[in-house]
Chains A and B, each alone.
Chain A
Amino acid sequence: MSESIGNEMYTLRINGQDRHVKDAWVGESLLYVLRERLELPGSKGACEQGECGSCTVLMDGDAVCSCLVMAATAVGADIVTVEGLIEKDPSMASTARTITDQISGQITDVQRAFIEEGGVQCGFCTPGLIVAVHHLLDKNPDPTELEVKESISGNICRCTGYGRIFAAVEAVVQVRKASR
């Protein structure tokens, strides 16, 4: 990339690994760096101003909009993306129900519930929501209906109208309760 744009160099801790970034432009958001430099395209960009939540990642345990994090300033932080949820919480892994000849990977109980309850249509908001829901249930394992809604009020879904998403969260809460 041309010299005139940037030569920033720094290391970020993403999903438990040190990832090195070089020749970067200072204005790049964490979202841009994850997607375009670190081959982690799971987080999505739909507004670039923190109004949709599609880019939600965990940063030092907080759910934040990665489009509003200047990547070069995120050094020293522990960042978890949707791709890293499974490693973060292996006790919650569940096997995907294979319905095509796709490779059936290991997914979390939240991810599984989203599929099984119809909480995924186009899927663009899904990774951000999955991260937000994991964050909610980590902090509050038995949320009320309103607590669920408030905690995902920063994640816009244009396809589902949220009904099946609420059902997915409720399903996870019940399953986790039963297994405790």
Chain B
Amino acid sequence: MTVAVPLSLTEAFDELSRTPDARLIQGGTDLMVEINFNHVKPVDVIALRRIKELRTWQVNSNNTITIGSGVPYQEMELGQLKELLPALAEAARTVGSPQIRAAGTLGGNLGTCSPAGDGLPVLFALDAIVHLQSALTSRDLSIHEFMLGVKRNARHASEIITGVTVPILDGWQGYAKVGVRNAMVISVASACLAVDKKNNSVRIALGAVGPTIIRCRDAESWLVQQLDLATATSIDTTIAQEFGRRVALESKPIDDHRSTAEYRRHAVGVLAQRLITRAYTS
């Protein structure tokens, strides 16, 4: 039984090769719940929290940002990260509680890959690239290929998620999440909308209404035909409503103890309508 706390990625890979079945732990906000609830009995653990490389972010020369998988959500809520990725900042603010935001990370959300993960709709809307590294290899995977299903992803056991890269889009972006109380809620339904003026497109991604995050491509291509996304300064209520209706149609929600499929479908439609209205209200 070992607990390793490597100080660098190289050390981490050494540990991983020694104990290939080791559980990776970053903020602990998912894994520790599993352990506390007796669903997981860890044998070997590799903690990533002291690996500085994973806790940094940078703006790249090609107008993208790379965020290390160990950057805590609370850092995304402010400063330049918030300026450049306002939807991510909004999503980060809704993660759990302030205590959770101090520990929780995108790497964790990606590792767990729950459709209710708050950061994931933003990554899907931005067509994020997920960076994976193993001792000998590194690869980049589109987020759309990374998330495979409920709590299933394409990471190999020998790989560590080192970060994500997202574009800095020119255009409005925002996030909304429905929960029954006014703080600390698991998403019942969520949505991220991002306008890409340069490419005259809009992206909308839904959380908690399907086995994976859903990009509503039909609704997106329909909207492109209704207005000039790059130059419009307002949007017809009927168009916004229709957009919401079409988004709702692409959702695949289920009934569970948190909510009903009917409500979730209704909610994402409302969120989509409101988000697109906000995007095109001067």
Could you say which residues of chain A place their CB within 8 Å of the CB of B42? Answer: 26-27, 70
- Is the pair B47, A68 in contact by a Cβ cutoff of 8 Å? no
Could you say which residues of chain A place their CB within 8 Å of the CB of B32? Answer: 29, 50, 67-70
Q: Out of B36, B99, B103, which one reaches A29, CB within 8 Å?
A: B36
- Tell me if B184 counts as interface (CB < 8 A to partner A): yes
- Chain B proximity mask over A40-53: 1 for CB below 8 Å, otherwise 0: 00000000111101
- Tell me if A92 counts as interface (CB < 8 A to partner B): no
Assembly CA distance A152 to B99 (angstroms): 9
Could you say which residues of chain A place their CB within 8 Å of the CB of B136? Answer: none
Assembly CA distance A109 to B35 (angstroms): 37
- Is the pair A75, B36 in contact by a Cβ cutoff of 8 Å? no
Stretch of B21-29, B191-199, B200-208, B210-218 contacting A (4+ beta carbons < 8 Å): B21-29
A 7-66 contacts with B by CB, 8 A: 7-8, 10, 26-27, 29, 48-51, 53, 56, 59, 62-65
- Is the pair B45, A26 in contact by a Cβ cutoff of 8 Å? yes
Could you say which residues of chain A place their CB within 8 Å of the CB of B50? Answer: 76
Assembly CA distance A39 to B56 (angstroms): 36
What is the CB-to-nearest-CB distance from B116 to chain A, in angstroms, rounded to a whole number? 14
Assembly CA distance A10 to B47 (angstroms): 14
A 59-111 contacts with B by CB, 8 A: 59, 62-65, 67-70, 72-73, 75-76
- Tell me if B180 counts as interface (CB < 8 A to partner A): no
- Chain B proximity mask over A97-131: 1 for CB below 8 Å, otherwise 0: 00000000000000000000000000000000000
Could you say which residues of chain B place their CB within 8 Å of the CB of A56? Answer: 99
B 1-39 contacts with A by CB, 8 A: 1-3, 5, 25, 27-29, 31-33, 35-37
What is the CB-to-nearest-CB distance from A81 to chain B, in angstroms, rounded to a whole number? 14
Known pairs A27-B42, A62-B74, A132-B98; A68 contacts B33 (CB<8 A): yes
- Is the pair B29, A68 in contact by a Cβ cutoff of 8 Å? yes
Assembly CA distance A90 to B26 (angstroms): 33
- Is the pair B97, A50 in contact by a Cβ cutoff of 8 Å? yes
Could you say which residues of chain B place their CB within 8 Å of the CB of A152? Answer: 98
Residues in chain B within 8 A of chain A (CB atoms): 1-3, 5, 25, 27-29, 31-33, 35-37, 41-43, 45, 47, 49-50, 72, 74, 96-100, 102-103, 183-184
- Is the pair B98, A154 in contact by a Cβ cutoff of 8 Å? yes
Lowest 3 A-B CB distances belong to which pairs?
A154-B97, A73-B47, A153-B183
Assembly CA distance A72 to B35 (angstroms): 14
- Is the pair A70, B3 in contact by a Cβ cutoff of 8 Å? yes
- Is the pair A64, B3 in contact by a Cβ cutoff of 8 Å? no
Could you say which residues of chain B place their CB within 8 Å of the CB of A75? Answer: 5
- Is the pair A48, B99 in contact by a Cβ cutoff of 8 Å? no
Assembly CA distance A47 to B60 (angstroms): 42
Assembly CA distance A127 to B37 (angstroms): 23
Assembly CA distance A8 to B2 (angstroms): 7
What is the CB-to-nearest-CB distance from B15 to chain A, in angstroms, rounded to a whole number? 12
Q: Out of A49, A73, A153, which one reaches B25, CB within 8 Å?
A: A73
Known pairs A68-B28, A68-B32; A154 contacts B1 (CB<8 A): no
What is the CB-to-nearest-CB distance from B105 to chain A, in angstroms, rounded to a whole number? 12
Q: Out of A27, A48, A53, A72, which one reaches B97, CB within 8 Å?
A: A53
Could you say which residues of chain A place their CB within 8 Å of the CB of B183? Answer: 150, 153-154
What is the CB-to-nearest-CB distance from A167 to chain B, in angstroms, rounded to a whole number? 20
- Tell me if A6 counts as interface (CB < 8 A to partner B): yes
- Is the pair A73, B102 in contact by a Cβ cutoff of 8 Å? no
Could you say which residues of chain B place their CB within 8 Å of the CB of A132? Answer: 98-99
Assembly CA distance A64 to B37 (angstroms): 19
Query: What residue of chain B has the Cβ atom nearest to residue A49's Cβ?
Result: B33
- Is the pair A10, B3 in contact by a Cβ cutoff of 8 Å? yes
